[in-house]
Amino acid sequence: MIIPAIDLLDGQIVRLYQGNYARQTAFELPLKQQLQGYIDQGAQWLHLVDLSGARQPDQAQTALLRELLCDLSAKVQVGGGIRTEAQLEAMLEAGADRVVIGSMAVTAPDTVQQWLHKYGSSAICLALDIQIDHQGQKIPAIHGWQQAADTTLEKLIDRYLTAGLEHVLVTDISRDGTLSGANTALYRELAARYGQIHWQASGGIATLEDINDIKQSGAAGVIVGRALLQGNFNVKEAVTCWPNV
């Protein structure tokens, strides 16, 4: 499945290079028109990230997200700075179909497992951004990618399986925003080990060939941001490559 992504910083569409706020590219595009264009071309899901809220909780763009969720006909998953149950519930009540939980999934797994039990596995997607070290270990990064967790991706997933975990977005930080190609070997490995998880691939997607490679890896979906914004290909072409079924 193709999932177009829009990252929002202070109301503007941007993309960060490897998560670095100092290395951002702003796109002077009309936000609602851009999102509707994705839907018109065949997107059934959209991925919205509140970078302002992720950086500073008191700067969360809640009002903007509420407005967008009211207007969009596609399903939407929303992330960025979700740190409390009140925030999670507010996004669901505003119309989000799924809420993406990032650092909290690593730092407070007991709490997030409770959320999974309460709101259901279809309403929550874990977002795990990883650095792969020289030994091949997949280490989640937290707090804006500034700190390495003291666990591995596999240990974390194993812990969540008993809570009915269903959706996980995994980003190889070294690929994010680079257009250098996706880490398909990573998703192939994860899909083979955890067949019950719907994996979302993210990071490095630049071409339709990348889309096809991820489709073959066993991932359930792919998050596409910069490549669409820059016009490397459009949603219609991507959906033709990987139909949303």
Length of the chain: 245
- Whether 158 is a known active-site residue: answer no
50 catalytic? Reply is no
Choose among 97, 82, 104, 101: nearest CA to 46.
Answer: 97
Which residue bears the tokens 């690929």? 175
Among residues 187, 76, 81, 169, the alpha carbon closest in space to that of 127 is found at: 169
Catalytic residue among 58, 110, 129, 158: 129
CA atoms within 13 A on the CB side of 235: 22
199-224 burial, b at 16+ Cβ within 10 Å, e below that, comes to bbbbbbbbebebbebbbebbbbbbbb
**Number of other residues whose CB lies within 10 A of the CB of residue 110:** 8
Query: Are 160 and 128 a contacting pair, CB within 8 Å?
Result: no
| Alpha-carbon gap, residue 75 to 44, rounded angstroms | 6
Per-position b or e across 225-245, b if 16+ CB within 10 A of its CB? bbbbbeebbbbeebbebbeee
Catalytic residue numbers, as ranges: 7, 129
